[in-house]
Structure 1
């Protein structure tokens, strides 16, 4: 009988210690979380010259219809291409730095948006999706884009 009391006491003590360890682990996790936020805030004030624009605002960066025109032209020449390949072609044509990940992602989203609108006008068609990336081809529609020019004077 006394052995049972010792075993019960030790079991209770073990549960108490495990409870304290779990509480300390939770406090450590919270402290690590808080430390990460303090470090990030310090980084903003200590090295502002290292801070870069994380997101590119490209509204108004391209003329209306320019991205779709570039994509359709490349699809006519090169055949099927993925969204990422088309975005790289758009960036190359505009002389943009394709190694800038934030800018590249912004242009990829603009290309997707432009191609979805072009798909409705039958300028392009989506062939398939490969690894989460759309593959596009030239569409069946024939369109003529009229460019405004100065009126010619006849003598």
Structure 2
């Protein structure tokens, strides 16, 4: 047998068990801290930052503007004349009171504006009139609409088809 008393052996064994338990708890604490950091980061993505604070690099812009609000803000800005995408973004940022110097926010909103303007272009509400550097210049469709004379071929086609449709109906009943 060994020269150390049984009490000391028992205490050393217990100390090793507690040390191993503490290491497991420390690993669990580290994991819990990492989980908390991830949850806080996720909350930041969906929560608008407080007034005057800087926007994070990754942020859900869908929470900043209501549905079609960017398009409406752009229409307001285009009412005064042609504007490029950068000017429209600056107008949208000012309308919400965000930081105009935040280049990440400005770039994200510019991408959103290009998408919104393309959708409005498909609806016939805006038109592209060129480029200013790398930015597209937009104009409201109302400001560039010019009165056009009716196309006589189309008018004649519509008139002939309406007459033939009427004659077909009268022949079916008679």
Alignment-derived partner of residue 64 in structure 2:
61
The within-5 A match list for 1:5-154 is 53-76=56-79, 78-140=80-142
Deviations 1:112-141 (A, max 9, x none): 111111111111111001211100000149
> Which residue is equivalent to 1:34?
none
User: Is this contact kept in 2: 1:55–1:103, CA < 8 A?
Assistant: no
Structure 1 runs not aligned, ≥5 long: 1-51, 142-155
Please give the alpha-carbon distance, in whole angstroms, between the structure 1 residues aligned to 2:56 and 2:64.
Answer: 16
Out of 54-63 and 117-126, give the one that drifted further. Answer: 54-63
- Mark the runs of 5 or more structure 2 residues left unpaired by the alignment: 1-54, 144-174
RMSD in angstroms over aligned alpha carbons? 1.7
Find the aligned partners of 1:53 and 1:90 in 2 and give their Cα distance. Answer: 18
Distance in 1 (alpha carbons) for counterparts of 2:102 and 2:131: 25
Equivalent residue pairs, number: 89
- Distance across 2 between alignment mates of 1:63 and 1:53: 20
* 8 Å CA contact 1:88, 1:98 repeated in 2: yes
Query: How many Å apart are 1:73 and its aligned residue?
Result: 1.5
Residue range with higher mean Cα deviation, 55-64 or 85-94:
55-64
* Higher relative contact order (CA closer than 8 Å, sequence separation 6+): 1
Bigger Rg, which one: 2
